[in-house]
Structure 1
C-alpha cells in the first residue's frame, strides 16, 4: 500500500510535464494591437517623387499620424506637422491631357499650376462655392459646378459663361402666378398695424411676379427639377452635353438596435439597416442638350434580356411570373476624351445582368456593347457592385473602352472597339486581375494579379493594347504598390504570412531589389517565433481541391484534437501568403498549436481569389458546399494528420459563426463543439445588398432561405455550443441570437451557452471583450475536446 502511494506523486509529475504549454496567453495576445508595434499604411508620394508619406504611429498616439521618408536619407522618419499635411491636399484636382497643367480649388477660387514652369496663379475667384473642376477638350476652357449649374471659364478671354439653366423649383403656371403662403395671425396683425412693413411686403410680391412674367416670356430655357436634387452634374468634354442623375431613395423600414449602455443612462435606439427584400432605390440619368435647349432621360427598355426571368423560377411552378422590365441601376455616363461618345453601365437590381452600353447623346437610347449574365450574381474583382463602380473607361483614341469581366470564369481586363464592337481580352488564365490603371503616357497598363499563385499578389506592366506582362515585384506575399509621379519608383506595402506590413521602395525595373524603409515590429512581438502555416489542398466530396492554411503542433505536444477556423464575410480570402486581417485569430491559432491542437483555416466555397465558380458556389444554398468543405476538412485531418475523430471543434465570426451553427446543427457526428461569434441565424433578417445576390429575396425564393438559415435546423444540436454576440451590432443584429436562443429553449437543448457584450458592435473594439470572448472559446475546446476540468 505504501509503495503505491509513493508512486502517485511521480505519476502526477509525469502528467503535468506532458501537458503542453505556451508562452502565449489569451490576455497577452488580445491586448491593444499597439503592443505588436506600428505598421505603415496608405502611402502616397510627394509631387516631386522625392518623399513618401504614409500613416504610422511611432509615438503611441490614439490614432495613426502622417509620417514621411525623404529618399535622400531613407533611414530618417519624421512626423508631418498638421500645417504641412494641410498643404498636401489640393481639392478638386484635374489635369490637362499631357498633365503639364493642373487646376484645383482653394475656397471659392480656381488655381492653375503650370507644372513645367513650376508656377501657380489664381485664375478665377467666384461668388459661390465651386466643385467638379474639369478641363474640356479645348483646354482653354474649364468647367465647374456652382449653385446647381455648370459654368465655363475661358482662360483666354477671362469670361464666365453659364452652360446650364437648372432650377430646383417648379415651372410657374401660366408664367405669372406667384405662390402665396398663408399668413399666421401674428403676421396678419403685424402687417395691419405697421404700414411700412406692409408696403415692403407688397413690393416684394410685385417684384417676384414681374420677374416670373419676364422669365416665362423670354426665350431662355429653364429645366425645372420640381424639388428634386440632381447628382453627378457634369459637362461633356466638347461642351455640348451635360448629364445628371436623379436619385429617388426607397422608403424602406430601418431596424432599431437598442443601446442599453448609452452615456445618458437611458436605453437609446441606434438606427440600422433595413432587412433583405427591400424596394430598390431608383436612379435615372438625364441628358441636357445645350445646343437644342432640351432635357431627356436615358431609355433602357430596348436592352437585350431586360425581361429575362431567373432560372430559379422553375422551382415554383405554381406561381405565375410576370414578364416585365426589371428594375435597373445606371452609372455614368463616361464620356470619351473628345466628348463625342459616351458609355453607361447598367445593372439589373437582381444583379444577374450587367450591360455596358453606348449612349446615343441625341436621343438617350442605349445600345448594348457587352452583356454579362450570371444566373447566380454578377461580381468579381473590378466588376463593381449593385450601384456601379468597377473598372470602366476610355483609351485616348476615342474608340476603345476598357472594363473587367468574368466571361471566362476569372476576372480579366478587356478592350472593346465601340465602332466595330470587337472585344479583345488583354489578360487570360486561371488567375484574377486587380486595380488596373493606365500609365501617364497612356502606352502601358499597370496592374496587380494573382498569376503566380492565388495566395500571392504581384505588380505588372503591360502594353496598352495587350502583350507580355512584365512582373515588377519579386517578394513572396502581398505587394500593394503605389507608383511614383514620374513612374520610376514603386512604394510597396509588403507583408508575409508571419510578417506584418512594412514599407519598401523599388525601381520600376524587372528584377530590381526592393529597399526596406520601416521596421515596425516591437521587440516584444519579435520575441515569439510566429508560425508560417502550410498552404495545403484537400479533396472535397465533389472532387474540388479546397485550399487551406494548416497549423501543425510539435509532435511531442500533439494532443489529437483539432480546431477548424471559418473566416467571415463569405466572399473573402484568408488562405494566402500575407499578413492576415484576422491577426488576432492568427495569434490564437499559434497559441492553440503550442497547446498541441492541429488547426485548419479553409478558403471554403464562396471565398475570394479563385474565380467565378468558386465565388458563386453557394448560390441559393448557404450552408451547402461551404459547409461540406468544413466536413471534408475534418476528414482530411483525420486521414492525413492523425486527428481523433471525436476531438474536432469549429469556430468563426459573422459568416464563420453562421457556418459554425450549421455545422453543429447538421453534423454533430463530426464536430463535438463550436463557438459561433456574431452569427447570422436567419438570412431573412440580414441586409439586401449581400443576401439577395446569393439567396434572391425571401418573398421570391423562400426555398433558398429555408435551407440556408440555421434557426430552422436548431433541433439537430448535439455537440457543445458557445454563442457570443455584441449587443450594439448594427450589421448582424443581436436580435438574431435572441430569436435562436428562444428556439433552443423551446427545443429543451441544454448543451449551449451565450455570452453577450453590451458595448460591442459587429467588430469588437475593446481588448477586454476580445479577451473574454477568446477565453471562453479556449475553455470550450479544452473542456470538450480534451475533457479538461475548468
Structure 2
C-alpha cells in the first residue's frame, strides 16, 4: 500500500497495487454479507497517548472475528501498528479520567482499581503509572481533593480519600444500606425499678458512675468517625466531596414499587428449552424516586435538599389544562376508546401532574471551591433548571430555567458540556432557549447571562481548552448536513473553522491541543482516520485571527478493492417544501434509466439525522438504495419532522402526535417525487425500521392511496407498549394523555390497509418487543385483511446481526417492490 496526502476538499482512496477488479452488479447477497470482508472496517474509538505523540484506535484490516487495537506513532512513517496484548493491558482507558489543575497528573479507574499517571511533558524516562489500590472490591470515580494532596473515590456506597504522600486511607462517609433499629423502649415499671435500685444501693450508684466516666474517657480518646446514616435500601449515587473538604453531596434512589417488567421468550437456545429474557417496563410504569442530600462534616449532620423553592416546581404542563374536543379524537370503524372516553380520561387524571419529582445532578464546583452549581430535571422533562447550591444552608438560587411544553432538549445531565471559566464565577452551558442548541454563560454571583453563539444551526459538542481561554465547538452552521470543528474565544465572537473536508469531521483533540485526529467520512466514502496540525491555527498572545489550515493527512485505508470497484452514488441533497411551509431536507438517488417507480426510506430512532453528507449508519440501506437505483427506481430518504440537526421546533414537531407531521412530511416528499422526478403516483413504496417501521405502518393504514406497498421492519405498533424514557417525552403517559396515544398508535388504524404490507421482526427484540407484531397480526386477522405477511427472525434482537437474516429480510423487501409497484 502506498499512502498519499489529501488536498483540500479531496479524498483520494489508496488502492492496492494489484489491478482493481471490475465492478459486478449489486445483489442482495453481496451487499448484506459480513461487512468486514465485503466493505472493510473503519477506525473507531479514537484516543491519544497522554504525551500527544501516538494515536490509538480500534480497527480490523485483517478481517478477524473482532476488532483489534492499533496505534500510529506520529514520529517515523506513521503506519498503523497492531498493539500487543501486554502493551494494551498497561494503557489507560480510552475515555474518562481526571487531571489535576496543572494537567501533570491524571487519575483513572481500570478493572476496579485506581491509578495515577504522571504525564508531565518532556519527562525523562517516559510517563510512569502508580497503582493506588489493589482490592477485590471496586473503587471508582477518582478525583483530586481541593488541595490536590489526596485522591477522593467511591467504594461500596461510601466515599474515601487516600493520601498521595503517605498512602493513608480515610473514610469520609458511613452510609449503611440497612434500616436503623429503634432503641429498646422501657415501660414505666422498668424505669421506676432502675431509679429505685440506684437510690437504695450505693454500690450500684458508684459502679454506674465509674462505668460512665470510663466510657467518656474511651470515647474522647477515639478518632472521630463519620456519621452513620441508614439509607433504608436506597441506592447511593454521585457522591462528591467539596474542594474545602467540608461537605459531601450525594443522591439516594429508591427503586420503583410495583413496576412490572416485560419478558421476551427466546426459542432457539443452547439448552433446547425456551428461555425468558428480561426486557424492560412499559411507558407509564412507576418510576424510581430520587433525593439529594448534603453531609456537613463539620456539623456532623446529613440533611436533604428541599425542592419546594424551585421556581415552577408545581407547574402542570399545558396539555393537562385543556381537554381535547370530541371532534379531534380519531374514531369511526377503528377500535379503541371513544371520543367521550378519551376526553373524560384526560380530565380525570390531570391532578396527578401537580407535584413533580426531579433529579439533581452535580454539583459542579468552581476551581476555588467557592461556588457549586447543580442541574435539575423534572421527571416529566418539561423543565431543566441550573441552580446555585449553598451547601451550608442547602438553599438553591436560580441561574437559568429552560421550560418546554413538549420536552427539554436531551443533553443528559449536561455535566459533560458545562463548567466554570477562569474567573470562577462564569458558568457555561448549552440551551435551546432561542430555538436552537447554543452556548451560553451565566455569572453565578450576579445572575447575568450571555449568549455566545447564535443562528439557525446547532452547537453539538463543547470542549473548553486547557488554558480555559477558548471553546472548541462542533456545529452544523455551514450546512445542516455537515459537521465542522471550530475554535472560539470564551467571551464569544469570531469562530475559527479548523476542519476543511466536506462531510462529517469527528475530531479528537490531542491532550496538548496541537493535533486534530479526525474520523472523517463523506456520503459515499466510509470513515477513515486523518491528522491535522493545529499549531498553525493557535493564536499568538491571545489574539484571534483566521486559521492557517494545514492539509489533512490520511492515516488509514480500510476499504476492500471489491467494494471500491463499484461506483457508489453521491446522493443529491434536496430540499422539499412541506405543506405547512417548512423545508424538508432529503437525499435523492437518481437512476440512469428511470422506470417510474420510487421508494421512500424512513430512517429510525425518530431523533436522528440521515439526509447528510457523511457515511450513513444505515450503510446497508445505502447500498440497497444503490441496488434499487440500478434497477431504475428513484429513491428518496428524508429528515422528516423530529429528525436531529434542525432545531427545537423541528425536534418537537411530533409532540402528542407521532404519525402526524412526521408522516405528512413523507407524504409531501412522495408527492414531490411525482411532480419533479417523473415518478408514477401509483407506484411508490416505502420502508423503514423501528421508528421507520412505525411510520410505514401509519402510512399504509392512514394514507393508503399514496403508497402502494410498504415494508415495516421491527415496528412499534402501539406506543403504550414502548419504554418510558423515550415515549413519555413525546406522548406523556397513557393514563394522563390518552388522546396522544390513541392517535399515534398504528394498531388503532389497521382497518385502513389497502396496499401490500410486509412486516419483519426479530423474535428476541428486547427494545421493540415481538409482542407488538403479534398483537397487530391478531388485529389484521380479525379485520379479515389478506394483503399482508409477517417474516419472523428467531435469533435476532432489534438490530440484526446475522448476514443470512439481513439477506432474507431484504430479499423479501425487494420482492415486495418488484411485484407490487
- State the TM-score, normalized to the length of structure 1: 0.88
In 2: Cα distance, 1:264 partner to 1:109 partner? 40
What SS is found at the alignment partner of 2:249? strand
Structure 2: 5+ residue stretches without partners: 1-22, 187-213, 325-342, 538-546
8 Å contact kept, 1:105–1:111 = no
Deviation readout 1:31-62 (Å, 9 max, x if unpaired): 00111112111111122222111110021111
In 2: Cα distance, 1:68 partner to 1:51 partner? 7
Distance 1:401-1:213 versus aligned 2 partners, 3 A rule = same
* Alignment-derived partner of residue 268 in structure 1: 275
In 2: Cα distance, 1:427 partner to 1:109 partner? 39
Structure 1: 5+ residue stretches without partners: 1-20, 178-209, 786-790
Distance 1:679-1:172 versus aligned 2 partners, 3 A rule = closer
- TM-superposed CA distance for 1:343, in Å, is 1.3
Moved more, 143-152 or 720-729: 143-152
* Alignment-derived partner of residue 136 in structure 1: 145
Distance 1:110-1:579 versus aligned 2 partners, 3 A rule = closer
Deviation readout 1:580-639 (Å, 9 max, x if unpaired): 000000000000000000001010000000000000001011110111111111110011
Matched, 1:602 2:638: yes
8 Å contact kept, 2:268–2:795 = yes
* Alignment-derived partner of residue 163 in structure 1: 172
- TM-superposed CA distance for 1:647, in Å, is 0.6
In 1: Cα distance, 2:262 partner to 2:57 partner? 38
Deviation readout 1:56-104 (Å, 9 max, x if unpaired): 0021111110011122234522110111111112698432211123345
Matched, 1:32 2:71: no
Matched, 1:397 2:434: no
In 2: Cα distance, 1:266 partner to 1:135 partner? 51
8 Å contact kept, 1:103–1:113 = no
* Matching residue within 683, 687, 692 for 1:647: 683
8 Å contact kept, 1:102–1:115 = no
- TM-superposed CA distance for 1:717, in Å, is 0.5
Distance 1:159-1:28 versus aligned 2 partners, 3 A rule = closer
- TM-superposed CA distance for 1:217, in Å, is 12
* Alignment-derived partner of residue 191 in structure 1: none
* Alignment-derived partner of residue 469 in structure 2: 443
* Matching residue within 317, 323, 346 for 1:315: 323
In 1: Cα distance, 2:101 partner to 2:285 partner? 44
* Alignment-derived partner of residue 150 in structure 1: 159
Matched, 1:721 2:768: no
Moved more, 657-666 or 229-238: 229-238
* Alignment-derived partner of residue 100 in structure 1: 104
- TM-superposed CA distance for 1:162, in Å, is 3.9
Distance 1:165-1:329 versus aligned 2 partners, 3 A rule = closer
8 Å contact kept, 1:346–1:388 = no
Matched, 1:333 2:340: no
Instruction: Kindly report which structure 2 residues correspond to 1:252-651, keeping only aligned pairs within 5 A, or say none.
Output: 252-313=259-320, 314-315=322-323, 319=347, 321-322=350-351, 324-380=354-410, 383-384=411-412, 391-508=417-534, 509=537, 510=547, 511-554=549-592, 557-651=593-687
* Alignment-derived partner of residue 246 in structure 1: 252
8 Å contact kept, 1:666–1:717 = yes
Deviation readout 1:655-698 (Å, 9 max, x if unpaired): 11111111111111111111111001111111111111111111
Deviation readout 1:315-350 (Å, 9 max, x if unpaired): 267535337321112211222222222111111111
What SS is found at the alignment partner of 1:559? coil
Matched, 1:232 2:241: no
In 1: Cα distance, 2:616 partner to 2:600 partner? 16
What SS is found at the alignment partner of 1:273? coil
Distance 1:728-1:216 versus aligned 2 partners, 3 A rule = farther
* Alignment-derived partner of residue 335 in structure 2: none
In 2: Cα distance, 1:559 partner to 1:629 partner? 24
Instruction: Kindly report which structure 2 residues correspond to 1:37-56, keeping only aligned pairs within 5 A, or say none.
Output: 37-56=40-59
In 1: Cα distance, 2:653 partner to 2:226 partner? 54
What SS is found at the alignment partner of 2:696? helix
Distance 1:730-1:151 versus aligned 2 partners, 3 A rule = closer
- TM-superposed CA distance for 1:143, in Å, is 2.9
* Alignment-derived partner of residue 333 in structure 2: none
In 1: Cα distance, 2:184 partner to 2:221 partner? 7
Moved more, 583-592 or 439-448: 439-448
Matched, 1:64 2:67: yes
Q: Considering Cα pairs closer than 8 Å and 6+ residues apart, tell me whether 1 or 2 has the greater RCO.
A: 2
8 Å contact kept, 2:40–2:63 = no
What is the CA RMSD across the aligned residues, in angstroms? Answer: 2.6
In 2: Cα distance, 1:114 partner to 1:687 partner? 44
8 Å contact kept, 1:347–1:388 = no
- State the TM-score, normalized to the length of structure 2: 0.84
* Matching residue within 117, 120, 126 for 1:115: 120
In 2: Cα distance, 1:220 partner to 1:77 partner? 54
In 1: Cα distance, 2:574 partner to 2:594 partner? 19
* Matching residue within 80, 85, 103 for 2:83: 80
8 Å contact kept, 1:175–1:216 = no
8 Å contact kept, 1:341–1:361 = no
* Alignment-derived partner of residue 12 in structure 2: none
- TM-superposed CA distance for 1:391, in Å, is 2.3
In 2: Cα distance, 1:159 partner to 1:722 partner? 66
Moved more, 444-453 or 65-74: 65-74
In 1: Cα distance, 2:493 partner to 2:435 partner? 21
In 1: Cα distance, 2:153 partner to 2:215 partner? 27
- TM-superposed CA distance for 1:539, in Å, is 0.8
What SS is found at the alignment partner of 1:315? coil
- TM-superposed CA distance for 1:212, in Å, is 14
